Amino acid sequence: MVRARRRHPDRGPDERGSVLILVAGLVAVAMLLIAVVTDVSTLFLDQRSLAATADGAASRAAQAVLAADVYREEPGAPALPVSTAAAVRAVQDYLAARGADAAPVRIVEVSSDGVTVTVVLTAEAKLPFSRWISAEPAGVDITAQARAQTVVAR
């Protein structure tokens, strides 16, 4: 016996296949969400890496006292002064020692008031899924600033 297929009176035309369209839309939204989360995570990790590099460079620069200053007698001076020129050289040496594997970092500012060294670095974070949005891969400029005080006392 063959039963005739009856349509439900509340349903309109045949709705078979509409789930496939919904699933395809859900997959597209999920892929877009994964791309956005990946790009934001990459940006966050690159920012943290640049901040760590700036911290290391500021620490190295704060220890860059001139040898002549170590033996010079200045009464009342609590710490040895760090010149801006010595701090710049120390930051450049630190960045060069990072190796070829590291992302390129540009020095924006290195300053010293004699006791505290301030280092500002910038780099470009490459976003892996930016090619989906534009023909050229986009990079985002990130900046990190760090300060360190000299700990070398007389």
Q: Answer left, alpha or beta for residue 76, where phi above 0 means left and psi between -120 and 50 means alpha.
A: left
What does DSSP assign to residue 129?
A: T
Residue 64 lies in a domain: yes
Please give the residue range of the domain that contains residue 88.
Answer: 18-149
Residue 7 lies in a domain: no
- Among the residue ranges 87-96, 100-109, 119-128, the one predicted with the least confidence is 100-109
Residue 1 lies in a domain: no
Task: Look over the chain and give the mean of its residue pLDDT values, rounded to a whole number.
Answer: 82
Residue 117 lies in a domain: yes
Question: In the chain, how many domains are there?
Answer: 1
Residue 4 lies in a domain: no
Question: What pLDDT digit, counting tens, does each position of 56-90 carry?
Answer: 999 999 888 766 666 666 666 556 778 889 899 99
Residue 6 lies in a domain: no
Cross-strand bridge partners of residue 120: 109, 145
From the list 57, 51, 116, the residue with the least C-alpha distance to 88 is 57
Residue 61 lies in a domain: yes
**Which residue did the predictor score with more confidence, 133 or 1?**
133
Question: What pLDDT digit, counting tens, does each position of 37-61 carry?
Answer: 998 899 999 999 999 999 999 999 9
Residue 3 lies in a domain: no
pTM of the model: 0.75
Question: What pLDDT digit, counting tens, does each position of 140-149 carry?
Answer: 899 999 999 8
